[in-house]
Amino acid sequence: MLTSVENQLPLPTAESTGDELFKMGLLYSTGQGGAPLDYVSAHMMFNLAAMRGSVEAKVYRKELSQEMASDEVAEAQRQAREWLAHG
């Protein structure tokens, strides 16, 4: 299940499936669907999607991390951990 904010960007919920999280990662990694181009958010979504069984997300996460600075990857991982703790 996805929830949306006023600008209609999808946000992950505790019930989000791996496929839904993967699709959110695609939005952020490409800047499509009204989402800002945000590699940190995309990496976070791919990471969460991979944890929920998305094989594609693992591939995209790896490719994206090669385009990011190490501190950006670390921030994405921190955000994913925080989401898991509070999501």
Per-residue confidence at 14, pLDDT binned at 50, 70, 90?
Answer: confident
Pairing of strands 2-4, 10-12: antiparallel
* Residue 49, CA atoms < 13 Å, CB-side half-sphere: 25
Contact 72, 29 (CB under 8 A): no
Alpha-carbon distances of 45 from 20, 21, rounded to whole Å: 9, 5
- pLDDT, averaged across the chain: 88
Per-residue confidence at 35, pLDDT binned at 50, 70, 90?
Answer: confident
- Domain spans of the chain? 2-86
Q: Please enumerate in sequence order all residues whose Cβ is within 8 A of that of 4, keeping only pairs 6 or more positions apart, or say none.
A: 10, 11
**Residue matched to tokens 């499936």:** 17
pLDDT computed for residue 34 by the predictor: 84
